[in-house]
């Protein structure tokens, strides 16, 4: 394969990962027309069509899927070697890609990432906000911020925040009309705002612990969301009870717009962790991110 065709393959991979030509062009720092031209040239050289194109999106053909499956491991090895060589230098540099929920970005990531950017101008940080539990290898992420219970067994997890508790909350008007539940079993008589973390995953079952019992309840209601902010908005507007990490609704509880219920059934649990693969060579930039994010108990 010619050298320019190898470069064209990186453009194809960017289009596949970003889902369309426009976002791939932004990521690569070139024009959309240049991306389109590169893909056409690559397909002509390959002798087969790699992408199906519509007016709104692109997807891989069968041959394209086989090509990408064989391409990714090699490019990953090249990237890891480059990062390894970078880490030899005195100045940490390179791109760190992190996936996290918007709530985790606001509470955990953003304050620290801005400090890193000021202290290490050669480090570039990409943050992908998604409540879906993205696969790190599939999404080519270096790390993810997840609650401890959602960290996979093949990942290293570093605590980046204190213990948290869930909060079942609803508007005062809703509770005035429907009553205040005092036991998780009573949720069956209430409208609940449901979370689904991924398009192909089951809705999240609400977990409670208290009075020596552990209870898991399937709930239902008028809405299913994949972002906690929408759950909070629905609760504020009186559509039912939402089940949200307490830090995300402390302001609304304090000002009386939301009322907490079942508080004695919501024991604190391990909070957010930064997780990353144990099998991947760690870059100097990722080392900085991990060290800065690592949660330290006051006084230690």
pLDDT in tens, 227-246: 889 999 999 999 999 999 99
Segments of the chain assigned to CATH 3.40.190.10: 89-163+271-293
**What is the Cα 239 distance to its own chain's centre?**
26
Provide mean pLDDT across the span 74-93. 64
Confidence check: pLDDT of 131 > 60:
no
Provide mean pLDDT across the span 109-120. 92
Per CATH, domain 3-85 is 3.30.300.130? no
What is 166-265's CATH number, 2.60.40.10, 3.40.190.290, 2.60.120.10, 3.40.630.30? 3.40.190.290
**89-163+271-293 homologous superfamily:** Periplasmic binding protein-like II (3.40.190.10)
Give the position of tokens 């991990």. Answer: 290
What is the DSSP track for 230-278?
HHHHHHHTTS-EEEEEGGGTHHHHHTTSSEEE-GGGB--B--EEEEEES
Looking at residue 300, its pLDDT comes to: 37
Q: What percent of the chain has pLDDT over 70?
A: 86
- Cα–Cα distance for residue pair 293/129, rounded to 1 Å: 17
pTM for the whole structure: 0.60
Mean pLDDT for the chain overall? 84
Segments of the chain assigned to CATH 3.40.190.290: 166-265
Looking at residue 10, its pLDDT comes to: 80
Helices in 129-260 by DSSP H: which ranges? Answer: 136-139, 172-178, 228-236, 250-254
∠ CA 243-246-251, rounded to 5°: 110
Least confident of 100-114, 132-146, 267-281: 132-146
Are 241 and 195 in contact by the 8 Å Cβ rule? The answer is no
Least confident of 118-127, 161-170, 286-295: 286-295
pLDDT bin (cut points 50, 70, 90) of residue 266 is: very high
- Cα–Cα distance for residue pair 81/38, rounded to 1 Å: 26
Choose the most confident range, by mean pLDDT, from 3-12, 67-76, 99-108, 273-282: 99-108
pLDDT bin (cut points 50, 70, 90) of residue 277 is: confident
13 or 233, higher pLDDT: 233
Nearest alpha carbon to residue 274 among 122, 136, 166? 136
pLDDT bin (cut points 50, 70, 90) of residue 32 is: confident
pLDDT bin (cut points 50, 70, 90) of residue 77 is: low
Looking at residue 94, its pLDDT comes to: 86
Give the position of tokens 């605590």. Answer: 159
Looking at residue 298, its pLDDT comes to: 40
140-178 pLDDT, tens digit per residue, is 788 888 887 777 767 888 888 888 899 999 999 999 999
Segments of the chain assigned to CATH 1.10.10.10: 3-85
- Cα–Cα distance for residue pair 215/71, rounded to 1 Å: 46
């Amino acid at each position: 394969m010619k050298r320019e065709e190898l470069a064209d393959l990186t453009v194809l991979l960017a289009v596949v990962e970003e889902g369309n030509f426009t976002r791939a062009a932004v990521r690569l720092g070139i024009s959309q027309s240049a991306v389109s031209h590169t893909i056409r040239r690559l397909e002509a050289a390959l002798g087969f069509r790699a992408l199906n194109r519509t007016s709104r999106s692109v997807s891989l053909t069968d041959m394209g899927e086989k090509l990408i499956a064989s391409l990714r491991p090699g490019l990953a090895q090249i990237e890891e070697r480059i990062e390894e060589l970078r880490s030899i230098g005195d100045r940490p540099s390179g791109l760190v890609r992190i996936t996290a929920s918007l709530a985790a970005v606001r509470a955990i990531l953003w304050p620290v990432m801005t400090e890193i950017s000021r202290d290490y101008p050669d480090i570039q940080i990409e943050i992908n906000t998604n409540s879906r539990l993205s696969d790190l290898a599939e999404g080519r992420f270096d790390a993810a911020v997840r609650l401890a219970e959602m960290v996979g067994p093949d990942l290293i997890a570093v605590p980046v925040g204190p213990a948290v508790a869930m909060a079942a909350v609803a508007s005062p008007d809703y509770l005035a009309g429907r009553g205040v539940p005092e036991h998780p079993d009573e949720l069956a008589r209430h409208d609940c705002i449901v979370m689904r973390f991924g398009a192909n995953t089951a809705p999240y079952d609400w977990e409670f612990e208290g009075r020596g019992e552990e209870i898991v309840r399937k709930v239902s209601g008028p809405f299913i969301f994949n972002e906690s902010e929408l759950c909070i908005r629905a609760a504020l507007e009186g559509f039912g009870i939402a089940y949200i990490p307490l830090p995300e609704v402390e302001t609304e509880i304090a000002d009386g717009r939301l009322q907490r219920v079942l508080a004695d059934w919501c024991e604190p649990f391990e909070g957010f962790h930064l997780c990353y693969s144990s099998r991947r060579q760690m870059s100097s930039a990722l080392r900085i991110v991990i060290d800065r994010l690592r949660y330290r108990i006051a006084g230690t």
